[in-house]
Amino acid sequence: MLEKATIARPYAEAAFSQALEEGKLAEWSAFLATLRAAVEVKEMRQVIYSPKVTEKQLADFVIEICGELSTTQKNFVNILIDAERIIFASDISKQFEQSKAAAEGLSEVEVISAYALNEQQLNDISASIAKRIGKQVEIKPGEDRDLIGGVVIRVGDAVIDASIKGRLKELNNIFAQ
């Protein structure tokens, strides 16, 4: 089976292209965030997978949940349902947001630490990464107590593991050889 990101990619790209063409990135972003939230609800997933619900009923229901939608957004919902891809709304939304951030010159940076970082530490990391990649940076902090100490920084596909857990793994690999 294909990976979720691979399945979602063409839909995210189509949504992004349409949003650019319409000049409505923010509206499409909000729409996809709402769609994502709706699909993540357990009861909604039961409706999506129910054999008793027709595609038209599901489309009407999803469109009603999402509120005021443009014709192209309604068509997008219908396409996702027809292709049985509505369940990938979260991945589509995530990829759309990545494309939107790139178009706006932003780069999302995930900073995972063993303990919560203070504002100054986050600002220092942000400034350092922004200088290094030449883009504005949006920090997404997270915590993972298993790291013991240090941080793991993810910028796109690049990962900088400066955690104690990561260092211990490296040391273990050296001793294992």
Residue 57 has which token pair?
Answer: 């009923």
Give the lowest-confidence range in 17-31, 56-70, 160-174.
Answer: 160-174
To 10 degrees, the CA torsion angle through 162, 101, 34, 11?
A: -100
CB-side exposure of 102: number of CA atoms within 13 Å? 11
Q: Which pLDDT belongs to residue 98?
A: 87
Residue that wins the pLDDT comparison between 80 and 175: 80
For domain 4-101, the question of CATH label 1.10.520.20 is answered with yes
Residue 145 pLDDT more than 60? Answer: yes
What CATH class does 106-176 carry? alpha beta
Structural domain boundaries in the chain = 4-101, 106-176
Q: Which of 30, 28, 34 has its CA nearest to residue 11?
A: 28
> Token pair 């009407």 is at which residue?
60
Q: Is the pLDDT of residue 96 over 90?
A: yes
Mean pLDDT along residues 102-118: 88
Q: Which residue has the higher pLDDT, 82 or 136?
A: 82
d(CA 103, CA 20): 10
pLDDT in tens, 24-42: 999 999 999 999 999 999 9
142: Cβ contacts below 8 Å, ≥ 6 apart: 110, 111, 112, 113
